[in-house]
Structure 1
Amino acid sequence: MIGAIGVVFGDIGTSPLYAMKESFIGPHPLAVDPLHIFGVLSLIFWSLMLIVTVKYVFVAMRADNRGEGGSFALLALISSHLDERRKAVLLVLGVLAAALFYGDAMLTPAISVLSAVEGLTIVEARLEPLVLPIAVLILLGLFFIQSRGTARVGALFGPIVMVYFVVLAVLGVVNIAAQPQILGIFNPLWAVEFFQNDPKLAFLAMGSVFLAVTGAETLYADMGHFGRKAIGISWLVLVFPCLMLNYMGQGALLLGNPAAVENPFYLMAPEWARLPLIGLATCATIIASQAVITGAFSVTHQAIQLGFLPRFKILHTSEKSAGQIYMPAINWGLLIMVLVLVLGFGESTRLASAYGISVVGTMLITTAMLAFLLFKVWRWNRWAATAMIALFALVDIAFFLSNIAKIADGGWVPLLVAGVIFTVLTTWAKGRGVLRAHLAADSIPLEVFVKSTAASVHRVKGTSVFLSAAKEGVPAALLHNLKHNQVLHENVVLLTVAVAETPRVEAASRLEVHEVGRGFTRVILHYGFTEEIDIPRDLAAISKQGVALDPMRTSYFLGRQKLIAAKEVAGMALWREHLFAWLLKASESAMDYYRLPANRVVELGSQLRI
């Protein structure tokens, strides 16, 4: 539970820094009077109750794929129960959810750190010119330490965030005591009256109210790390009560002092406590940002394993935990985008206009996927499932429509990023299919090759391992090697790495071996989409099945294709072929990705027109 509090709730826990403020002084200002204060707080409470508590804690988190959560895990859980047409629709939704996640991953560090540092202007207005430089320095430090790993720092996350939540609650209780009537916000009629009084303004205000629930997706995505029980209990017992006490405390402050709307979070605290509160809030925002960055590494790794992205360089920062990884390309790409957002928007109020639309898009997709789950997999009672999905869809659509108003004020930024990433994901997946089809068309059946060639070619001592994407036919690398060197090793292993639609594969099912004869063996290594691939380690088990695999006498042969985009060859649009060819060229070497020994690898290149 302490670990979950430190990592999972960092994003949603920092929402009080800006959610109430943006609801009143954001793009669509509200009068700071009892009607609007009670109305906004009632919307926040019922949004947290319906979206986080009911949708995610009580329903979505029951949809675990062998303990794992998140868009890809949910996609894999459902896809096996659908026909090809529905599976294709669901696949597009899952990929789109992953693309939208990156928009959230950019905005969370930017708005969280900036809103925390802006508290300095409450302590001393003359410090305003220092806000941007300090925020930039904090973000630079955060991204630069990623390569060192987060294991040691992560041990401090839970206690710090727990202290932060306790401080949120204490500040809230102190201010509620001065205005106890604020407890009336639990009555949903306040939200109804807000809409009756000014439907248009109330609808637009929902775009800012939604900031209070950003981070809810993290509860489900991080379920594999901490478990459903730890996350659910932490939310119900500690996080939700502390958040609501703080929101109500901010509302109580505004009832007595409407001028405090410029920054109700920091003005709740007595003057002597504001500077320490800034330090604590900054620590909390750094932790929230760290969780999002780590999440970006995890989502990217899953996308690579499932065939939606080319191989990226992955460094393992912990000898004890396989999940502790660092991806330089993702880290520096995120840093550049975060700095562009911070320097481009300049203040958290303007950033809030861009924040939320990618998150609510992901939530809508989760609702659609849950609909498939309830009806096709769990087979709930039709009326109960319809009522549940209708409630989730109504809330999500209302927030989605209200967030559309943000597009012109900056909401286009995460949508543009998501669009670019969606194009990359789908182009790579489509390109891999086209490439495999071309290679398969030129392939020779393995049995025919063994009978016609193996007996007549000179055999040398040792073992050769040829990596092949296909589970059938002869790998192109083997044909090229035979063409140029005119020899074969006495033991030839044709190896395919197969990634399953499950997070993990049982150790007993890892290795699949098929004897072909005349020294040829076809091997398939099975992995889950969250697992690390280590071919030398896992292939060593074939020694028990009679295949000699002496590390010093085993050579690994890899095929590397240079693609030439061509109009006359059927495949994809020409611009997508160029994009796929560039992605293939830029991808990490299979040698490093599969942890092959550098001094035992031979790469054989060829050209292919697509």
Structure 2
Amino acid sequence: MSGEADRTSIEEEMDTGKETAEKNLKLKDRKVSWAKLRRVDSLNLEAGRVSTVAHNPYQMGWRTTLILAFQSIGVVYGDIGTSPLYVYASTFTKKINNNDDILGVLSLIIYTIVLIPLLKYVFIVLWANDNGNGGAFALYSLICRHIKMSLIPNQEPEDRELSNYKLETPSTEFKRAQKLKQKLEGSHVARVVLILLAIVGTSMVIGDGILTPSISVLSAVSGISTSLGQDAVVGITIAILAVLFYVQRFGTDKVGFAFAPIILVWFLFIGGIGLYNLFKYDIGVLRAFNPKYIYDYFKRNGKEGWISLGGVFLCITGSEAMFADLGHFNVRSIQISFSCITFPAIVAAYIGQAAFLRKFPEKVANTFYDSIPDPLYWPTFVVAVAAAIIASQAMISGAFSIISQALSLGCFPRVRVVHTSIKHQGQVYIPEVNYMFMIACIVVCAAFKTTEKISHAYGIAVIGDMMITTTLVSLIMLVLWKKSLWRVGLFFLGFGFVEIVYFSSQLTKFTGGGYLPIVSAMFLTAVMGIWHYVHKERYMFELKNKVSSAYLNELANNPDVRRVPGIGLLYSELVQGIPPIFQHLIDNIPSIHSIIVFVSIKAIPVSRVASEERFLFRQVEPRDYRVFRCVVRHGYNDVLEDPAEFESHLIQNLKAFVQHENYMLEVDGTEHASAETEMIAAVGKGSSNRIIPDQAAASSDSIRSLGASATKSSSFISPPIQGAEDEIKFIDKALEKGVVYMLAEAEVVAHPSSSILNKIVVNYVYSFFRKNFRQGQNSMAIQRNRLLKVGMTYEI
């Protein structure tokens, strides 16, 4: 026994020795990356040891992929799956003049579905995702991460160190792509156009999210219009919509599992009924796979055939949901569910309806319900209503996702984003937007009353977003993917031509209701554009007026500035340097906490930032003043932590940074490390005289409390910097005294010499948005009883 114990003891000592050796080796390895990072003001001391596995949450097993594919049936395809309810009625608005026109329209429907949703979206566009997320803003952030085209600086050193940020390029560099990249980066107009395209595309999808529930539910309930009347149909539709928006609060995960079986049954119904009608009425409609019937259709009908494309296009409404909803699922799950279930079911449905119309062309106004065999009529009606309700889910979920992206990229006023699933990242719910959607849908239903009038408005929103997606993906193919010119040209010109033809047809319905999505898109574009403009100008103001290192040296030697026991976290949006609000605070309250951390919560244009890359620190000279800078990075789909959890993680990372810093001092020598740290800390050009005295006063109670503490602590002096253990003890002692959150509450006003338009936008429109949406401390989940607001006025 004694021998075994000795062996065990020896093995434990050997293991301990190995662990110590490994730790020392890791520390030595870090020295190289730290020394390199010290040459720039990156703050990122952890980037060299981040595992890339942490950034691949979408490399899922087949079991998870199949589960997501099943869920996607209930969330993504309700819209495109319920299109057979109204496509033929919307195409032949008067009557069918020639029986062969049915073959022409069927051929148009088949090849439109094959080209746009199947070929363009499923096999091409889905791969242009941003770390698993889709939508116009995902395309925008993907482009900005590889090309310097963001209006707000986003390719700073601390951004490029992100493992998610690293550019994976082909081994062969194409000069054409590099030249185009340089031209785009040097063009301010190109930057403005890019963000405008992203905003307009997002606005179109949001508009689609309003129209989809209205037309889908109304078209399904219209099956009982003959017995109850149109007013009753509208009333029932409004009631159903209210219930639909109420259940959104339960999240995509639960809604998806509840809805997927219903949509699956719906696809079985429409596919089976379609095959039944095909063999019963006219199997000859399969000739429509010959595109010659499209040519004959346009030759026969001329301008009327071109106008009818507005109705044909409705067969692919909801295609953009596959990309907008991608963050709720993954690429493979969407490809499997569409190719294996959705595509064959809807094609069979359209073929069966065409076969029915060949024998009963006079029943085109209500083709779907008239073509159902009598024994299946009521079961199909019930499933149709349920499927139409679910159809609304696709664009509602997509709208939530892209608004969440826009919010984190500084392009949307602050709203509450609720992450509804701990199993699948990217599933979100936005209460304010949900209720606005509900009101808008009810108003649309009550105003238009019929699916024919809503369809006039419906197509323009969808085709507008598709055209923008084609443009942005073409740019990605050219510059990021570095595809050959003929491939990019084939994609852009091929799909672009088809979409422009459909768009021109939709414009003929402008006065009949097509104005609605255009007006709503213009309104949303204005809101998002104004918010992003002021957000960008505010950031640039702070960047130009950041505090110089000379001021901090003077502050350290100023005996009138008292040190208060505790930790102060001063929040600002500035990443590089110290924000001007700090000097404003000292001028008004000549006292600061024993430890000061300048915290910048920065939204990175990637979907997620791994936890080990979240907190980035740098110590500001003089070191014994204990002032730190911290950048807290998050992607647009990261979940905001609980305040207590966030505080705990920040303090833990601060202690780890202090240990690392002390190790560097021991390795490199105190004088050498201090010189480099001083060189790095010397950022900024100094404070500007343009800073105006405070017009948004800080909380009076908090000021009096801080002032009283300063008076009581007049004898408090920060001890000189010692070893890592002593510094950590000092942090723990300060933590016992409490943490105070200081929020830079900047009032943004237009510069007196600016234009009248700028004054209207900044002083009135932006001010209205800021007062009526969520405030900064709400979006950061800061506890109000520990919050000190520091007011200041910025002129832009």
TM-score tier (shorter): over 0.9
Which letter maps to 1:397? I
Q: Which residue of 1 aligns with 2:771?
A: 585
**Which string of whole-angstrom CA distances, capped at 9 and with x for unpartnered residues, describes residues 553-610 of structure 1?**
1111112233444653469533212211212222312222112233322222334454
Residues of 2 paired with 1:554 and 1:286: CA distance? Answer: 49
Q: Which residue of 1 aligns with 2:236?
A: 134
Q: Which residue of 2 aligns with 1:559?
A: 744
The equivalent position to 1:487 in structure 2, one of 591, 595, 615, is 591
SS in 2 for 1:526: strand
Residues of 1 paired with 2:503 and 2:228: CA distance? Answer: 38
Q: Could you say if the C-alpha distance between residues 65 and 427 of structure 1 is closer, same or farther in structure 2, counting changes exceeding 3 Å?
A: same
Which letter maps to 1:502? V
Q: How far 1:487 sits from its partner (Å)?
A: 1.1
Q: How far 1:106 sits from its partner (Å)?
A: 0.8
The equivalent position to 2:321 in structure 1, one of 215, 218, 225, is 218
Q: Could you say if the C-alpha distance between residues 126 and 155 of structure 1 is closer, same or farther in structure 2, counting changes exceeding 3 Å?
A: closer
Q: Could you say if the C-alpha distance between residues 478 and 567 of structure 1 is closer, same or farther in structure 2, counting changes exceeding 3 Å?
A: closer
Residues of 2 paired with 1:434 and 1:67: CA distance? Answer: 30
**Which string of whole-angstrom CA distances, capped at 9 and with x for unpartnered residues, describes residues 495-539 of structure 1?**
112222221223332221111121100011111222223343652
Tell whether the 8 Å contact from 1:477 to 1:557 is kept in structure 2 after alignment: no
Structure (1 or 2) with the larger CA radius of gyration: 2
Identity of aligned residues (%): 31
Q: Could you say if the C-alpha distance between residues 484 and 463 of structure 1 is closer, same or farther in structure 2, counting changes exceeding 3 Å?
A: same
SS in 1 for 2:131: coil
Structure 1 stretch displaced more, 91-100 or 148-157: 148-157
2:259 maps to 1:259:
no
Q: Which residue of 2 aligns with 1:197?
A: 300
Residues of 2 paired with 1:421 and 1:75: CA distance? Answer: 17
Structure 1 stretch displaced more, 161-170 or 502-511: 502-511
Structure 1 unpaired stretches of 5+: none
Q: Which residue of 1 aligns with 2:109?
A: 44
Q: Which residue of 2 aligns with 1:502?
A: 606
Q: Which residue of 2 aligns with 1:102?
A: 206
Q: How far 1:543 sits from its partner (Å)?
A: 3.3
Q: Could you say if the C-alpha distance between residues 432 and 384 of structure 1 is closer, same or farther in structure 2, counting changes exceeding 3 Å?
A: closer
Q: Which residue of 1 aligns with 2:638?
A: 531
Q: Which residue of 2 aligns with 1:16?
A: 84
Residues of 1 paired with 2:492 and 2:476: CA distance? Answer: 11
SS in 1 for 2:308: helix
Q: Could you say if the C-alpha distance between residues 6 and 39 of structure 1 is closer, same or farther in structure 2, counting changes exceeding 3 Å?
A: same
Residues of 2 paired with 1:407 and 1:59: CA distance? Answer: 31
Q: How far 1:30 sits from its partner (Å)?
A: 4.4
Residues of 1 paired with 2:432 and 2:328: CA distance? Answer: 24
Which letter maps to 2:605? E
Q: Could you say if the C-alpha distance between residues 354 and 537 of structure 1 is closer, same or farther in structure 2, counting changes exceeding 3 Å?
A: farther
Tell whether the 8 Å contact from 1:22 to 1:352 is kept in structure 2 after alignment: yes
Q: Could you say if the C-alpha distance between residues 198 and 100 of structure 1 is closer, same or farther in structure 2, counting changes exceeding 3 Å?
A: same
Tell whether the 8 Å contact from 1:569 to 1:609 is kept in structure 2 after alignment: no
* Correspondences of 1:408-423 after superposition (within 5 Å): 408-423=511-526
* Correspondences of 1:422-433 after superposition (within 5 Å): 422-433=525-536
Q: Could you say if the C-alpha distance between residues 356 and 567 of structure 1 is closer, same or farther in structure 2, counting changes exceeding 3 Å?
A: farther
Residues of 2 paired with 1:495 and 1:450: CA distance? Answer: 17
Residues of 1 paired with 2:191 and 2:537: CA distance? Answer: 20
Q: Could you say if the C-alpha distance between residues 353 and 570 of structure 1 is closer, same or farther in structure 2, counting changes exceeding 3 Å?
A: closer
Residues of 1 paired with 2:73 and 2:737: CA distance? Answer: 48
SS in 1 for 2:551: helix
The equivalent position to 1:545 in structure 2, one of 650, 653, 657, is 657
Q: Could you say if the C-alpha distance between residues 59 and 314 of structure 1 is closer, same or farther in structure 2, counting changes exceeding 3 Å?
A: closer
**Which string of whole-angstrom CA distances, capped at 9 and with x for unpartnered residues, describes residues 78-115 of structure 1?**
23233332444322211211111111111001111111
Q: Which residue of 1 aligns with 2:262?
A: 160
Residues of 2 paired with 1:416 and 1:145: CA distance? Answer: 29
Which letter maps to 2:588? H
Q: Which residue of 2 aligns with 1:298?
A: 401
Structure 1 stretch displaced more, 284-293 or 234-243: 284-293
Residues of 2 paired with 1:129 and 1:472: CA distance? Answer: 61
2:710 maps to 1:606:
no
Q: Could you say if the C-alpha distance between residues 268 and 228 of structure 1 is closer, same or farther in structure 2, counting changes exceeding 3 Å?
A: same
Residues of 1 paired with 2:131 and 2:482: CA distance? Answer: 19
Q: Which residue of 2 aligns with 1:170?
A: 272
Tell whether the 8 Å contact from 2:74 to 2:260 is kept in structure 1 after alignment: yes
Q: Could you say if the C-alpha distance between residues 248 and 214 of structure 1 is closer, same or farther in structure 2, counting changes exceeding 3 Å?
A: same
Which letter maps to 1:35? D
Q: Could you say if the C-alpha distance between residues 173 and 538 of structure 1 is closer, same or farther in structure 2, counting changes exceeding 3 Å?
A: farther
Residues of 2 paired with 1:315 and 1:76: CA distance? Answer: 22
- The alignment's TM-score, normalised by the length of structure 1, stands at 0.94
SS in 1 for 2:639: coil
2:377 maps to 1:274:
yes
Residues of 2 paired with 1:482 and 1:118: CA distance? Answer: 68
The equivalent position to 2:472 in structure 1, one of 361, 369, 374, is 369
Which letter maps to 1:49? V
2:538 maps to 1:458:
no
Q: How far 1:356 sits from its partner (Å)?
A: 0.7
The equivalent position to 2:451 in structure 1, one of 336, 348, 353, is 348
2:96 maps to 1:31:
yes
Residues of 1 paired with 2:87 and 2:564: CA distance? Answer: 70
Q: Which residue of 1 aligns with 2:55?
A: none
Q: Which residue of 1 aligns with 2:333?
A: 230
Q: How far 1:399 sits from its partner (Å)?
A: 0.8
SS in 1 for 2:382: helix
Residues of 2 paired with 1:436 and 1:571: CA distance? Answer: 22
Tell whether the 8 Å contact from 1:467 to 1:475 is kept in structure 2 after alignment: no
2:71 maps to 1:3:
yes
Residues of 2 paired with 1:450 and 1:225: CA distance? Answer: 47
- The alignment's TM-score, normalised by the length of structure 2, stands at 0.73
SS in 2 for 1:183: helix
**Which string of whole-angstrom CA distances, capped at 9 and with x for unpartnered residues, describes residues 284-326 of structure 1?**
1222212322222221111110011121123444565554433
Structure 1 stretch displaced more, 140-149 or 16-25: 140-149
Q: Which residue of 1 aligns with 2:157?
A: none
What CA RMSD, in Å, does the superposition of the two structures yield over aligned residues?
2.1
The equivalent position to 1:514 in structure 2, one of 618, 621, 625, is 618
Tell whether the 8 Å contact from 1:357 to 1:411 is kept in structure 2 after alignment: yes
Residues of 2 paired with 1:126 and 1:533: CA distance? Answer: 49
**Which string of whole-angstrom CA distances, capped at 9 and with x for unpartnered residues, describes residues 20-45 of structure 1?**
211112xxx34254221111111000
Residues of 2 paired with 1:331 and 1:475: CA distance? Answer: 36
Residues of 2 paired with 1:545 and 1:431: CA distance? Answer: 34
SS in 2 for 1:265: helix
Q: Could you say if the C-alpha distance between residues 315 and 52 of structure 1 is closer, same or farther in structure 2, counting changes exceeding 3 Å?
A: closer
Residues of 2 paired with 1:12 and 1:255: CA distance? Answer: 24
Tell whether the 8 Å contact from 1:33 to 1:258 is kept in structure 2 after alignment: no
Q: How many residues align?
A: 604
2:177 maps to 1:112:
no
Structure 1 stretch displaced more, 302-311 or 429-438: 429-438
Residues of 1 paired with 2:578 and 2:477: CA distance? Answer: 43
Which letter maps to 1:21? A
**Which string of whole-angstrom CA distances, capped at 9 and with x for unpartnered residues, describes residues 421-447 of structure 1?**
1111111111122223344454422x2
2:400 maps to 1:400:
no
Residues of 2 paired with 1:207 and 1:537: CA distance? Answer: 57
Q: Which residue of 1 aligns with 2:781?
A: 595
Which letter maps to 1:209? V
